[in-house]
Amino acid sequence: MKNVNQWAEACYANASMKKVFGTVQMCAKPLKPIVVVPKKEEKPKAAAAAAPKPKAEKVLDNVESLPPTSFNVYDFKTFFVNHPDKKGVAVDEWFKMLDWEGWAFWHFHYEKYGKEGTVLHVTNNLMGGFLSRAEHVSKYAFARHGVFGEEPALEIMGVWLLRGTEMPDGFAKEHPQFEYYKTRKMDPRKNKEDEKMIREYFSVKEDEMCMGMKAQTLKYVK
């Protein structure tokens, strides 16, 4: 840095500088710079991992807590939907195969409010909304649900086979529209009208009569 040295020497030789600072001599040897190495910041030690909280035991609903059943509903759905005689032989076989202690039939009937049930396409939408919100129960259900009657007196009804002998929590506690349905447990082995209803609901086609009412729109839940 010779230019800096020359500038400093010229400054120190100036009379005004000498008067204040006296004679200043440059170092004979350059000083070695003192290198200060900054200390590494110690990262705070991670706190000891907290002991994992014990997992809360899953509370089983009234379907999950049931004992195993001998009735394979998935295989049965395939059998029934493809059977040519749904009203007769298919239902006869159904009753033979069914685990009556582990399943029950139910009749669903929507309770209309105000002017509901007067227009078919609006009633169809109402039924469709209910079924879409019931998809989570399809793994343990088989049903025929539909719109019956004529405008302006349409009804939404269905016959459902459901797991267990009580209404599943999937409906009673989880379905937001379930409270608007009247439900009745059916007993087709003792009640001939219930047996007839099951046979007609699961075999009727749209525009045909079912239990004295015209079937307008029909949906399988499977």
Same domain, 133 and 190: yes
How far is 50 from 27, CA to CA, in rounded Å?
62
Do 101 and 22 sit in the same domain of this protein? no
The residue-averaged pLDDT of 191-197 equals: 98
Residue 164 lies in a domain: yes
Cβ-count burial 57-74 (b if 16+ within 10 Å, e if not):
eeeeebbeebeeeebebe
The total number of structural domains in the chain stands at 2
DSSP 38: P
Domain of 13, in residue numbers: 1-34
The answer to whether residues 188 and 194 touch, using CB atoms and an 8 Å cutoff, is yes
- Helical segments of 27-116, H only: 73-81, 89-97
Same domain, 194 and 91: yes
Give the pLDDT band of residue 21 (cuts 50, 70, 90).
confident
Q: What is the mean pLDDT of residues 137-165?
A: 98
CA distance 98 to 92: 10
- Same-domain status, 27 and 80: no
Tokens 């295989």 sit on residue: 75
In a domain, 42, yes or no: no
134 and 175 in contact (C-beta within 8 Å)?
yes
Q: Are residues 10 and 117 in the same domain?
A: no
Is 46 part of a structural domain of the chain? no
What pLDDT was estimated at residue 105? 98
The span from the CA of 215 to the CA of 137, in Å, is 24
Q: What is the mean pLDDT of the chain?
A: 91
Residue 15, in any domain of the structure? yes
Domain CATH code at residue 207:
3.30.70.1010
Name the band, by pLDDT with cuts 50, 70 and 90, for residue 36: low
pLDDT at 129 over 70: yes
pLDDT value for 110: 98
Q: Are 115 and 20 part of one and the same domain? A: no
Q: How confident is the model at residue 159 (pLDDT cuts 50, 70, 90)?
A: very high
Task: Give me the pLDDT at residue 47, please.
Answer: 62
Mean predicted confidence (pLDDT) in 127-137: 97
DSSP state of 136: G
List the beta strands (DSSP E) in the chain. Answer: 103-110, 141-150, 153-163, 181-186, 209-210, 213-221
Evaluated on CA atoms 98, 99, 103, 106, the torsion sign reads positive
Query: So what's the pLDDT on residue 24?
Result: 80
pLDDT recorded at residue 150: 98
77 & 29 share domain: no
Helix H or strand E segment including 7 = helix 2-13
192-210: average pLDDT: 98
- Tens-place pLDDT, residues 78-117: 999 999 999 999 999 999 999 999 999 999 999 999 999 9
Between 15 and 184, the more confident residue is: 184
Verify that 89 and 185 share a domain, yes or no.
yes
Is residue 85 one of the residues assigned to a domain?
yes
In a domain, 63, yes or no: no
Least confident among 3-12, 122-131, 138-147: 3-12
Q: Is residue 64 part of a domain?
A: no
pLDDT at 57: 72
Residues 146 and 215 placed together within one structural domain of the fold = yes
189 in any annotated domain: yes
